[in-house]
Structure 1
Amino acid sequence: MSTATTLHHRDRAALRAVAAGRCALAGPTLLVDGLCCADQFLAARLTDAALIDATTATGTASLTATGRAALDVA
């Protein structure tokens, strides 16, 4: 099964927000525009799938190459 087929609407929306530079990772929590995401497992799901990564110095979330490819397909 490919990554594009396993992404939910919320996952794709979060990836678009990360791509726009609107997200940060604070421990296991994804912050969007400074607010905690309501899906408590979203950050872990996207990180485990190697779709997002965090810059250690700032906690800013960024897309990985796999995450970019998943957005291009979706």
Structure 2
Amino acid sequence: MSHRYAVGQMLDLRSAPRHSNRPTGPCEVVACLPHEKGPVLYRVKSWGESNERVVEEVDLSPSSATKSVKSANERVFSIAIGKR
């Protein structure tokens, strides 16, 4: 079974099972994780969080959200360069 979604694609993260602090809403696929059997897994980053999460493919759905211009052009050193 192959991955349905690609790295960089914007998706909607569905609600988590009870007792989870996982947010719902738009997220970006950071990595497609390897697997031989079991659920297809992805590493995603939600817009409202700074950390990444591993989620199953069934918890993701296509989204109409797009990356903002700022996040697409953001650089690691943008703050240091901008203050010169």
Higher radius of gyration, 1 or 2: 2
What TM-score, normalized by structure 1, do the two folds share? 0.29
Greater helix proportion: 1
Instruction: Name the one with the larger strand percent.
Output: 2
